[in-house]
Amino acid sequence: MWIRWHGHSCFELRDGATVITDPHDGKSIGIPAPNLKGDIVVISHDHFDHNCARVVKGQGLSIIRDPIMTVDRGVRIQGIETCHDSQNGEKRGKNIVFKIEMDGVTFCHLGDLGHMLDEEQLAQIGVPDILFIPVGNVFTLDVKSAVRLAEEMRPKVVIPMHYRIGGLSLSIRPVDDFLAGFPEDRVLKVGNEMEFKQNELPENGEVWVFSL
């Protein structure tokens, strides 16, 4: 199993099939254009920095942008409706949290979640192996809430996303603010991609920080 980061909230999850999350075109947000090829694309909401499915190449590409449950090429995907803000979507609309199960690993991609999850939503997600969480503060969860939610959900691995990096044209905060909420020995800088097996995942809740 491989995870590769393409900047912002766009990740490539690759095993028997390849899933792309929240693709962007790069130039619209000031970072390098991603080179994306996949089988399935999940889109958490219809904002320009998350919905650029046209840049993903692939035969018979499946694009999922609704809160549905489906199995596609052996990948089980469940979309859970949430909001992009703390005012029931009145400011920024709806957001879909995606639970993705492939090769025995459960991923949870929170998209641009703007509020704490309620008990029903947490029950639908369960305990993910790997959690992708937005940490840039301005348009999503504030930093303290992001740290608290990551601890509440108890994943084996937390992967921060949607934060300020060099060149990014969006006014959001850097990842360091989020990382300050965790002990240093739990934070691991992993580079641009990571290969792992399910039985090798840590039990102590590591934070994996990717780079472009």
Asked whether the predicted pLDDT for residue 93 surpasses 90, the reply is no
pLDDT tens digits for range 147-173: 999 999 999 999 999 999 999 999 999
- The model's pTM is 0.97
Domains (range + CATH), the chain? 2-210 (3.60.15.10)
What percent of the chain stands above pLDDT 70? 100
Radius of gyration of the chain (CA): 16
The pLDDT value recorded for residue 65 is 97
List the 62-64 sheet strands across, edge first.
62-64, 40-42, 18-21, 11-14, 2-5, 193-195
At 104, is the pLDDT very low, low, confident or very high (cuts 50, 70, 90)? very high
Asked whether the predicted pLDDT for residue 88 surpasses 90, the reply is no
Tokens 């790069």 label which residue?
Answer: 26
